């Protein structure tokens, strides 16, 4: 895995997560989304941008492939490297995820890839962040969480498949130097895992949950694989537009982004924005905050404690 990314001289690496743009055809709502992204890029000056799915609302696009290029254009034009995964709305109808990815990889700064055909989905890949000497210090994993269940008897959303979990295990094992601890890493996907429900129900969380957690009805075991692999610091998803909380479960921080796009549902008083992640090269840790539309930095979100819990 060849790294094009490096920690800064001060030992930090900043990621901006944009999620659920729901871009359509460049209408007024899309232009508001673009202005928000422009402001976040200007204020945060990230080393990497990650789009965590529903980049476009394909059923509302005259040409979804042109629209996905429009949606990422503000980041491509900025010269900032970026990566992406798909969500359930990116490829509805007869829209092809393969063709969407082919469009994305032609845009300036794109580090995403389709991944191997042997693994379920389109867009399972990893990126390395190098240190000052070029050696890999952190890893970033990107997984295609799919769209909708393909089993008629199980309604709802898709789940991470066994081949993807096997791929993650193999990649994580290969990246760790022999005899060394696992690399610190982050994992990005669109649809929240079932464990997002558990962490909200059983642990202190920071942030808001204004809608039910729309995870798959089946738990395919990705979270167990992340725990077993070691080194995974946090996971980041989108999908639920008015949730932005994070909580820690079995040593991993489960985190929502902040919905970015104006061409979709929201909640009065819950401003669009972006999540910011600042990794530290030393100490296997990171800080995270939300940058809201209008420029406000939300660094101390509301604390949620489950009923009967005081920790």
Which tens digit of pLDDT belongs to each residue from 139-181? 999 999 999 988 989 999 999 999 999 999 999 998 877 778 8
Give whole-number Cα distances, 232 to 169, 186, 187, 254, 292, in Å: 12, 6, 8, 11, 27
The two three-digit tokens of residue 163, written as one number: 């081949």
| Domain extent listing, the chain | 5-301
Measured CA to CA, the distance from residue 127 to residue 156 in angstroms comes to 30
The pTM of the whole model exceeds 0.75: yes
The pLDDT tens digits for 14-47 are: 999 999 999 999 999 999 999 999 999 999 999 9
CATH number of 5-301: 3.60.21.10
DSSP assignment of 266-310 equals: -BTTB--EEEEEEEETTTTEEEEEEEETTS-EE-SPPEE--TT--
User: Going by C-beta distance under 8 Å and a sequence separation of 6 or more, which residues neighbour residue 214?
Assistant: 156, 157, 191, 192, 239, 240
Mean pLDDT of 290-296: 95
Could you give the CA distance from residue 36 to residue 263 in angstroms, rounded to a whole number? 13
Binned at pLDDT 50, 70 and 90, residue 187 comes out as very high
């Amino acid at each position: 895995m060849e790294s094009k990314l490096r920690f800064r001289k001060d030992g930090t690496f900043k990621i901006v997560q944009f999620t659920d743009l729901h871009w359509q055809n460049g209408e007024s709502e899309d232009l508001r989304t673009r202005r928000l992204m422009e402001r976040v890029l200007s204020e945060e000056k990230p080393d990497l941008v990650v789009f965590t799915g529903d980049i476009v609302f394909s059923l509302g696009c005259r040409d979804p492939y042109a629209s996905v290029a429009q949606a990422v254009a503000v980041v491509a034009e900025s010269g900032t490297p970026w990566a992406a995964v798909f969500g359930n709305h990116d490829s509805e109808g007869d829209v092809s995820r393969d063709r969407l990815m082919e469009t994305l990889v032609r845009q300036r700064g794109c580090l995403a890839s389709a991944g191997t055909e042997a693994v379920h989905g389109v867009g399972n890949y990893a990126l390395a962040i190098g240190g000052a000497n070029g050696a890999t210090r952190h890893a970033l994993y990107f997984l295609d969480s799919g769209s909708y269940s393909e089993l008629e008897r199980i309604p709802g959303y898709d789940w991470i498949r066994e081949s993807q979990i096997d791929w993650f295990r193999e990649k994580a094992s290969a990246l760790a130097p022999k005899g060394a601890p696992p690399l610190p890493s982050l994992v990005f996907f669109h649809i929240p895992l079932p464990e997002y429900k558990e962490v909200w129900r059983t642990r202190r969380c920071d942030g808001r949950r204004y809608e039910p957690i729309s995870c798959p009805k089946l738990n395919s075991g990705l979270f167990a694989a992340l725990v077993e692999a070691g080194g995974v610091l946090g996971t980041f998803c989108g999908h639920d537009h008015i949730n932005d909380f994070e909580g820690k479960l079995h040593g991993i921080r489960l985190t929502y982004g902040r919905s970015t796009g104006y061409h979709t549902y929201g909640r009065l008083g819950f401003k669009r924005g972006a999540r910011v992640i600042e990794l530290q090269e030393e100490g296997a840790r990171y800080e995270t905050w939300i940058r809201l539309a209008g420029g406000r930095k939300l660094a101390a979100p509301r604390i949620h404690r489950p009923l009967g819990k005081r920790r």
